[in-house]
Amino acid sequence: MKHCEYQQIDPQALSTPTPTLPPQHAVVQEEKKGETARRKWEVFPGKNRFYCDGRIIVAQQSGVLPLTLGLILVTTVLFFVFDCPFLLKHLTVFIPAIGGVLFVFVVISLLQTSFTDPGILPRATPDEAADIEKQIDNSGSSTYRPPPRTKEVMINQQVVKLKYCFTCKMFRPPRTSHCSLCDNCVERFDHHCPWVGNCVGKRNYRFFYTFIVSLSFLTVFIFGCVATHLALRAQGGRGLMFALQESPASAVELVICFFSVWSILGLSGFHTYLVASNLTTNEDIKGSWSGKSGTEDTGNPYSYNNIITNCCSVLCGPMPPSLIDRRGFMPVEESSQTVATEIELAAKNEINVCTQGTKDLLESASRSPCPQTGKPQTVSTSCPDSIDPADPAVTFNPDVTSDPDPVAVPSLKCGGRHHSHTTSPPDEPRQLHHHHHNRHHKTRSARSSSKRAALHISNPAYNVSLSPPTSPGLGPSHGTGAEEHVRDNFATLH
């Protein structure tokens, strides 16, 4: 993305003369150069899926999105085929025109909501995570299980607590929440919508709002038109049954529209209220601001206390860019240098500071004073149940590498479970929808475990070097076994 010359003086990119290397190193480096550079979406640590080479992003389970699209398409097609000719003849040409415009709006905003990055925050780099850990260690206690880490900030003269995200290894900005289904922190997190198959957050909230508003207009419009059609056919004393027999498709449309109009109108009204008071669904359900004082306006520090300003800032505000840079290329030099590091560690037990690259210096120095006791606690203390502390592959993960993949994988194992506790209360009302996902968990877990295995295998040297007693075959399967165990626990929570 940013091909400025500072890429060159990035210390990882510079090749310091490395000493007598085992032949493994040369082989691996050649392999890395031979591969085409990988895009960042291919190593994305969250549970999202990507299409069109990273242009399209969806959540892991998009099970209900085809149903949503199907219902909308079927109803609208039936409307155009069976009702529009009659209404065109007897009423006006504007009816199909308005229907067409609404339909286009609905479909486009639905696809935009589903395929847009909702405002995912990329996970903290290892350096940032280490810096934050340093600050926390300075101020916190040294108990085996650290208390939930929070930081208080003043926002518009009001105290707001920021929570530490164990998966993403950073303090979440205000209004950011971690979606356990997608395993990402999302800015201005509203909710995870299964109908749309994606999280709704800062970047796609306006599309979501457009979608539900235009869908409620479309539903009401079709309902009204079909009712008019049937009424016109039933005129002259012929009766409703006669009209239904003549146009049975209208009955189908009536039923679909009747049952959906209440929920969609209700949802539109609810979100209009949220937009007018600059709240998110997450905050409203948790009662973050309403518990403190009687009126909601004084509680919410983000509200402008003016309905029009709130609406404009939420819906017409500037569109922030995607922060995860899906289509950027992974820096090949960094990954190959990291791989070289791991092989060197395997080759030599003690660290020779004069012969390593600069990035390796920092990693090795942070590791050497506390080889087994200090850093592994960050992994094991967050989830002592799901991680076997004896597994060297897991214990060493946070220490050694600068490559984010192996760091992300164990934190996924424990972070996912941890966050299932913290995020399940807001998801309680959505349990109806989440029951869909229990079925999908088993089928998807196979695919995700292969993705996790791929993340492990992307650094085969890493596995080999760090866990000599365990074969590489055991490494990924152990990791994914723990992963599936964790996910099953999560599924049973719902």
Partner 1 sequence: MATEFHNLQELRQSPSLATKVFIQRDYSEGTVCRFQIKFPSELGSRIERTLFEDTVKTLNTYYAEAEKVGGQSYMEGCLACATAYFIFFCMETRYEKVLKKISGYIQEQNEKIYAPRGLLLTDPVERGMRVIEVSVFEDRGSSGSSPSSNVSSGISQR
* Catalytic sites, residue numbers: 193
Residue 385, helix vs strand vs coil = coil
Please tell me the distance from the alpha carbon of residue 396 to that of residue 389, in angstroms, as a whole number.
Answer: 10
- The verdict on 493 binding partner 1 (CB under 8 A) reads no
Among 30, 31, 53, 131, binds partner 1 (CB under 8 A): 131
- Candidates 71, 73, 240, 312; binder of partner 1 (CB under 8 A) is 312
Type and span of the H or E element at 170: strand 170-171
Count of alpha carbons within 13 Å of 369, Cβ hemisphere only? 4
Nearest to 344 by CA among 16, 22, 14, 17: 22
* Cβ at position 202, least distance to partner 1 in Å: 9
Of 210 and 467, which has the nearer Cβ to partner 1? 210
Report the alpha-carbon distance of residue 276 to residue 23 in Å, rounded: 65
Handedness of CA 354, 355, 358, 360 (dihedral sign): negative
Closest approach of partner 1 to the CB of residue 156, in Å: 6
Site membership for partner 1, residue 376 (CB under 8 A): no
Q: How far is the CB of 157 from partner 1 (least distance, A)?
A: 9
Does residue 490 bind partner 1 (CB under 8 A)? no
Asked if 159 touches partner 1 (CB under 8 A), the answer is no
Q: Which residues pair with 121 in a beta bridge?
A: 185
Selected from 28, 72, 165, 170, the binder of partner 1 by CB under 8 A is: 170
Segment 136 to 155, residues that bind partner 1, using CB under 8 A:
137-138, 153-155
Q: Cβ(99)–Cβ(80) under 8 Å?
A: yes
Task: Identify which of 431, 360, 469 has the alpha carbon closest to the alpha carbon of residue 11.
Answer: 360
Tokens of 332: 């090949």
- Residue 387 or 412: which CB sits closer to partner 1? 412
Tell me how far CA of residue 163 lies from CA of 33, 61, 413, in angstroms.
Answer: 41, 27, 19
- Residue from 40, 47, 175, 434 binding partner 1 (CB under 8 A): 175
Options 16, 150, 293, 431; binder of partner 1; rule CB under 8 A:
16
Tokens representing 473 are 């075959």
77 in contact with partner 1 (CB under 8 A)? no
Stretch that binds partner 1, among 38-46, 87-95, 107-115, 329-337 (CB under 8 A): 107-115
- Selected from 81, 97, 365, 493, the binder of partner 1 by CB under 8 A is 365
- 8 is an interface residue for partner 1 by CB under 8 A: yes
Whole-angstrom distance, CA of residue 134 vs CA of residue 288 = 30
Q: In which residue are the tokens 């300075």 written?
A: 138
* Contacting residues for 284 by C-beta, under 8 A, at least 6 apart: 274, 290
Structure tokens, 168 = 């993403």
5 near partner 1, rule: CB under 8 A: yes
Pick out residues in 108-127 that bind partner 1 (CB under 8 A): 108-109, 112, 121-122, 124-125, 127
The span from the CA of 13 to the CA of 359, in Å, is 10
Considering beta carbons, is residue 374 or 389 the nearer one to partner 1?
A: 374
Q: How far is the CB of 263 from partner 1 (least distance, A)?
A: 24
Which span (58-66, 232-240, 362-370, 475-483) binds partner 1, by CB under 8 A? 362-370
**Contact in structure between 311 and 275 (CB atoms under 8 Å):** yes
Smallest distance, partner 1 to C-beta of residue 106, A: 10
Q: How far is the CB of 410 from partner 1 (least distance, A)?
A: 21
**Rounded to whole angstroms, how far apart are CA atoms 376 and 126?**
14
- DSSP β-ladder status, 150-155 and 49-51: unpaired
Encoded one letter per residue, x for contact with partner 1 by CB under 8 A and - for no contact, window 428-467 reads: ----------------------------------------
Determine the size of the site formed for partner 1 (CB under 8 A).
64
**Cβ at position 174, least distance to partner 1 in Å:** 6
Q: From the CB of 127, what's the least distance to partner 1, in Å?
A: 5
Only one residue has tokens 């539109």, namely 268
179 lies in the binding site for partner 1 (CB under 8 A): no
Q: Is 73 in the site for partner 1 (CB under 8 A)?
A: no
What is the DSSP code string of 435-466?
A: HHHHHHHHHHHHHHHHHHHHHHHTSHHHHHHH
Tokens standing for residue 397: 């993960």
CA–CA distance, 46 with 177 (Å, rounded to integer): 14
Query: CA-to-CA distance for 399 and 8, rounded, in angstroms?
Result: 26
Please report whether residue 186 would count as binding partner 1 according to CB under 8 A: no
Q: How far is the CB of 77 from partner 1 (least distance, A)?
A: 20
Nearby residues of 88 by Cβ (< 8 Å), 6 or more positions away: 95, 96
Asked if 45 is part of the footprint of partner 1 (rule: CB under 8 A), the reply reads no
Q: Which residues bind partner 1 (CB under 8 A)?
A: 1-2, 4-6, 8-9, 11, 14, 16, 104-105, 108-109, 112, 121-122, 124-125, 127-128, 131, 134, 137-138, 153-156, 160, 162, 170, 173-175, 187-188, 206-207, 210, 301-302, 309, 312-313, 315-321, 323-325, 353-354, 358-359, 361-362, 365-366, 369
